[in-house]
Structure 1
Amino acid sequence: MSKNMKDATPKAARNGSGTGAAAPAGAVSRRRLLGTAGAAGATGLVLGAAGGAAGYAATRPDDPAALTTVGSTRAMFHGKHQAGITAPLQAHGHLIAFDLAPGAGRKEAAALMRRWSATAERLMAGRPAVDGDGADHDTGIALDAGPSSLTVTFGFGRTFFERTGLTGRRPTALDPLPPFSSDHLDAKRSNGDLWVQIGADDALVAFHALRALQKDAATTARVRWQMSGFNRTPGATDRPRTARNLMGQIDGTGNPKPSDSGFDQRIFVPSGAGTGTASADSGPAFDWMAGGSYAVVRRIRMLLDDWEKLTVDRQERVIGRRKADGAPLSGGTETTGMDLDKAGPDGRLVIPDNAHARISSPEKNGGAAMLRRPFSYHDGIAADGTPDAGLLFVCWQADPFRGFVPVQRKLDRGDALSPFIRHEASGVFAVPGGAAKGEYVGQRLLES
């Protein structure tokens, strides 16, 4: 837990913004909750005070339901960075891409971002949605649920800049990704003008946000694609551990942490430098991305029937880590560094030369790093009887051509995991920095 996280609740209480009652006896402790919540690491963007959840309770004085720590935890809308990037993994998520409607341009896009930001701020604080005139038009889906760590994150796709007449301010970091051998991409489920990531620790809270934002889009933007996913529920276990994916593997051990040296430089765009890596993106035209990040989104189908035919020993050699605890095959615990040169009695490398963990490690990719923050998904059974399931892969970096692309190219050349996965959708989105009080997300782009 970061120092900012530890200090957040007392500071909120001193400022009068975290005045909720103490958690009821038997509630999961906040320290324990955040330790369990996921691999992305904790930041100062989440408040554990029940005061953040008072909004819905106040709308129903006849139903004063007490919220647990899970329900009362609140993520902050305003800040240097948008919420939902470094927050702990959330139990439920929705990824949605929109295309601007014919005839909608920069003015309409600005009005939409203003509406969306206002709605996100209210819902993340645990308050009901309202229409443009301030009238309550909340559906009541999450009326007594509290904020439940809800985060809403907004991004712009490459085509957004064409539709709004802002091509001169489009970063080269949004250039199309190169093709990869595992690509079986569905264009209808890829890219988009606008992208929204919703995450929460309650399924109704996440769905409520999805419905509210879709209604706010009205006639300005139409849904291009939508995907839903899940992770382990915070508090379900008292053993803090990195999340598992649907292959049963601990997934995200090597994630960079906010406490790491150089974390901000790798994940967030610095002020006055565009992407911070491409000289073509430097200068005032790209200042709107300061404090922002680039999201690469991939729908990765796992061929689970084939994977589950492998023995556990074979699965571990494909990954390069033990299935039970995520420790590298070279020994130690999950957090022990991999000894990539260690050989067994037979002289062969203990971590095979084509193991996924070896090939994707920063040591083998010139230090390239990205913050992985995925959701698992299951969309039923395909016509051939196989599960349509896998990973909604979301990774964050200051420049995808120095984060995602070099690592994926390396994986493309011989990753032992490749025969068991298929990339079915893809998108890259510029996610601006967080909005200051009184601003909306993207204002520095749309009104400058």
Structure 2
Amino acid sequence: MSPEASDRATDHSAVSRRRFVGVAGAAGAGGLVVGAAGGAVAFAGESGDGGGTALTHVGATTVPFFGRHQAGITTPAQAKAVLLGWDLEPGADRAAVAALMRRWSDTAARLTQGHPVDGDDQVAADAGPCSLTVTFGFGGTLFDKLGLAARRPAALKPLPPFPDDALDPARSDGDLFTQICADDGLVTFGAVRTLQKLAKGVARIRWQMNGFARSPGATAKPMTHRNLMGQIDGTNNPKESDPKFDEKIFVTEAAAPSPEQQWLTGGTYVVFRRIRMLLDAWDGIDKAHQERVIGRSKDTGAPLSGGGEHSAADFGKRGPDGELVIGANAHVRVAAPEFNRGSSMLRRGYSYHDGFGSDGAPDAGLLFVAWQHDPDDGFVPIQRKLARGDALSPFLRHEASAMFVIPPGCARGGYVGQSLLEG
């Protein structure tokens, strides 16, 4: 038995928060969870009352914190997400940031495995880990502030402006980034609050975005998420089984541009965009028009050229009228890797809804989160093409933006970012 398990077994004060005992097996309605090292890991447990329900299994599921890559990248999307950008406090130096990253990593490692932490205020009392993941990143400004400019990757630079951007600087960028995801909202809040308290004197929150996705067990069978336009979203994501998945999503040793940047091997980049969906305008067009804009069936997610959701789109197919079945400006065509020199990224976005404006229109849309080995080979060329000729663009407005480098995962006893901050 590990020290953590022994402590948990004897510390009855922790039982109300972490009463689930993990055993290897299926994850019930939550399905298998992809861990930080890329393997499929799942735990299912029963509550002390016996006769566990599907939600008991969802609550007991854990995702490993330690591994070659950070968790929360290839992990299937959980039901809740909190994205945070942080600014360093004046005077915070490299030693202070290194100490913060160690505190954050140690705490995240315990929370994600359902272990108690010092100062637990019991916000999520009686809940299990609920597939909690905590992912950390660094902004370009951090390197200058800490005297690490020589170790900043060349790809970590401001994103270029795109047509029709309406970005709010106060909700963009940042020195540090955290993504906190779980299948329970109280678990995410508890983790956010814990990290925020640990950061006092070193970093303060610059912006926060709260997102949601489909809850495990909400559908009769596992399915791709739907966005707030009602469209199945994420069908054409790269898969871990793809032959070149790792080199498209993660920085390989061969791709690290200099010895000073070998610390990034196994890491990645994330592009974040807050994309408001102009839902009143979208709802003003009929379903057939909506499907032509996207290039897929709204009911099934199948390409308009035929088949099922995961069928390959036949972009050359024409209808009886001689017109392309999937139009030249349909979203799926404009964004497809075959029309973008093979560029791709792993999208892991969340919906958001922040009320209604004075005009009655919903402030709602997509917290776009995309992972890639190099934004100049992923997000940037695809977004440029979308901005020029995507039929979906008139229904969207980009309101916040950021890019961060995501260090590789860490081994037990280490912390995320250690090879950079102590190298």
TM-score, normalised with respect to structure 2: 0.91
- Alignment equivalent of 2:133, drawn from 145, 151, 169: 151
Match of 2:286 among 284, 308, 311: 311
Tell me which residue corresponds to 2:182: 200
What is the rounded CA distance, in whole Å, between the counterparts of 1:125 and 1:202 in structure 2? 15
Residue 206 of structure 1 aligns to a residue whose secondary structure is helix
List per-residue Cα deviations over 1:187-225 (Å, max 9, x = no partner): 000000000000001111111111111111011101100
Contact 2:37 2:67 in 1 (8 A): no
Q: Please, which of 48, 55, 62 is the counterpart of residue 43 of structure 2?
A: 48
Q: Is the Cα contact below 8 Å between 2:36 and 2:68 reproduced in 1?
A: no
Rate the CA distance shift 1:438–1:86 in 2: closer, same or farther, 3 A. Answer: same
| Percent of aligned pairs with the same amino acid | 59
Q: Which residue of 1 aligns with 2:324?
A: 349
Measure the CA separation in 1 of the matches of 2:396 and 2:57: 37
Q: 1:212 to 1:383 in 2, by over 3 A?
A: same
Aligned to 2:27: 30
Aligned residue in 1 for 2:226: 244
- Judge conservation of contact 1:99–1:221 (CA < 8 Å) in 2: yes
**Pairing partner for 1:381 from 350, 356, 362:** 356
Q: Which residue in the other structure is 1:83 paired with? A: 71
> Is contact 1:160-1:194 (8 Å) kept?
yes
Equivalent position amino acid for 1:34 in 2: G
**Corresponding position of 2:12:** none
Matched residues in 2 for 1:20 and 1:178: separation?
46
Q: Where does residue 98 of structure 2 map in the other structure?
A: 110
Root mean square deviation of aligned Cα: 2.3
> 3-state SS of the aligned residue for 2:307?
coil
Task: Give, in angstroms, the shift of residue 31 of structure 1.
Answer: 6.4
| Residues 213-270 of structure 1: CA deviation (Å, up to 9, x unaligned) | 1111011101100000000001111322110000000000000000111000000011
Q: Aligned partners of 1:260 and 1:45: how far apart in 2? A: 16
- Provide the C-alpha distance between the structure 2 equivalents of 1:302 and 1:20, rounded to a whole number of angstroms: 40
- What's the TM-score, normalizing by structure 1? 0.86
Asked whether the 8 Å contact 2:21–2:60 carries over to 1, the reply is: no
Q: What whole-Å deviation, never above 9, does each CA across 1:368-410 have from its counterpart, x for those lacking one?
A: 0100000100001112211000000000000011010111111
State how far apart, in whole Å, the 2-side matches of 1:335 and 1:138 are. 44
Secondary structure of 2:208's aligned partner: strand
Q: Does 1:295 align with 2:295?
A: no
Q: Provide structure 1 residue ranges, at least 5 long, that are not aligned to the other structure.
A: 1-11, 13-17, 24-28, 131-136, 275-281
What are structure 2's unaligned runs of at least 5 residues?
Answer: 6-19
Aligned to 1:175: 157
CA distance in 2, matches of 1:163, 1:109: 11
1:112, 1:216 within 8 Å by CA — same for their partners in 2?
yes
Q: C-alpha deviations, 1:303-361, integer Å up to 9, x for none? A: 00000011000000000000000000000000000000100010100001000000000
- In 1, Cα distance between equivalents of 2:22 and 2:136: 29
Separation of aligned partners in 1, 2:302 and 2:310: 7
Matched residue, 1:232 = 214
- Output the CA distance in 2 between the equivalents of 1:359 and 1:80: 34
Distance 2:353 2:39 in 1: 32
**Superposition misfits of 4+ residues, deviation over 3 angstroms:** 18-23, 40-43, 63-67
Q: What is the number of residues matched between the two proteins? A: 403
Aligned to 1:262: 244
Alignment-mate amino acid for residue 47 of structure 1: A
- Quick one: distance in 2 between partners of 1:401 and 1:142? 40
Aligned amino acid, residue 86 of structure 2: F
The question of whether the paired residues in 1 share the 8 Å contact of 2:270 and 2:405 is answered with: yes
1:133-165 deviation line (CA, Å, top 9, x unaligned): xxxx10101121111000000000010101111
Q: How does 1:361-376 map to 2 (within 5 A)?
A: 361-376=336-351
